[in-house]
Chains A and B, each alone.
Chain A
Amino acid sequence: DTAVSQTPKYLVTQMGNDKSIKCEQNLGHDTMYWYKQDSKKFLKIMFSYNNKELIINETVPNRFSPKSPDKAHLNLHINSLELGDSAVYFCASSQPGQGAGETQYFGPGTRLLVL
């Protein structure tokens, strides 16, 4: 059973296109996240979201928008893709109020390449 899954695993697209990445978690967690990992492996949070609150990292361009159809899903929409958007995008989830600093469980990543 995959706890956090993402589709697609690989995404190659042209500059200017709009694309979406899907994320699903079957852990029953209330909070989900999107992270970007650049070519130097630096992992940086983009969004965190639960049923009540969307927290956006101020450095994220507004071309990126999370969409949550239900508690188990948080999709990432990217408009007008740019070369600099090429990276690996990770979805994660956690349960607020749990011990261990709210351990985050990560998906396998989506490798996005913008040509």
Chain B
Amino acid sequence: QKEVEQDPGPLSVPEGAIVSLNCTYSNSAFQYFMWYRQYSRKGPELLMYTYSSGNKEDGRFTAQVDKSSKYISLFIRDSQPSDSATYLCAMKAPYGGSQGNLIFGKGTKLSVKP
């Protein structure tokens, strides 16, 4: 079992839809959970960050972490064509060295149609 599992999609939704993106993980030591957005031919950029369990909201984006289920989600409300990108979940344990590496999911490619 890979450390982080993420459905690669592609996921296609109409403009204005609510989008739900998810990742599961196996390492219970992960404490930091992030969502990165990667536009085509660009580098990943941090979208949301959550420490431990709970919800975090930023504009149209909400990140949720359920450590008991080892499951994280990103919700996008009122999706826009400009949200079309690949979304990568990433997580990290609070250790130094290689045990503290940022581990990425494979990314979900999202397309929002006008």
Q: Which residue of B lies closest to A106 (CB)?
A: B43
Q: Which residue of A lies closest to B91 (CB)?
A: A101
List residues of chain B with CB under 8 Å of any chain A CB.
Answer: 8, 31-32, 34, 36, 38, 41-46, 49, 51, 86, 88, 92, 97-98, 101-102, 104, 106-107, 109
Supposing A57-B98, A100-B49, A101-B34 touch, asked if A108 and B104 sit within 8 A by C-beta, the answer is no
In the complex, the answer to whether A43 meets B44 with C-beta atoms within 8 Å is yes
Supposing A57-B98, A101-B51, A101-B92 touch, asked if A40 and B44 sit within 8 A by C-beta, the answer is no
Supposing A57-B98, A101-B32, A101-B49 touch, asked if A40 and B106 sit within 8 A by C-beta, the answer is yes
Q: What 0/1 pattern do residues 1 to 31 of A give for CB contact below 8 A with B?
A: 0001000000000000000000000000000
A101 to B49, CA, bound (A): 8
Supposing A41-B106, A43-B88, A45-B101 touch, asked if A108 and B43 sit within 8 A by C-beta, the answer is yes
The interface size bin for chain A is 20 to 34
Q: Tell which of B43, B97, B109 has the most Cβ of chain A within 10 Å.
A: B43
A109 to B43, CA, bound (A): 6
In the complex, the answer to whether A90 meets B44 with C-beta atoms within 8 Å is yes
Q: What 0/1 pattern do residues 47 to 66 of A give for CB contact below 8 A with B?
A: 01000010101100000000
Please tell me which one of the listed residues B8, B34, B43 contacts residue A90 in the complex, with CB atoms under 8 A apart: B43
Q: Which residue of B lies closest to A35 (CB)?
A: B104
- A92: chain B residues at CB < 8 Å are 43
Q: Which residue of A lies closest to B46 (CB)?
A: A103
- B86: chain A residues at CB < 8 Å are 41
Q: How far is the CB of A108 from chain B (nearest CB, A)?
A: 5
A48 to B109, CA, bound (A): 27
In the complex, the answer to whether A4 meets B8 with C-beta atoms within 8 Å is no
A105 to B46, CA, bound (A): 8
Q: What 0/1 pattern do residues 90 to 109 of A give for CB contact below 8 A with B?
A: 10100000001111111111
Q: Which residue of A lies closest to B43 (CB)?
A: A106
- B98: chain A residues at CB < 8 Å are 55, 57-58
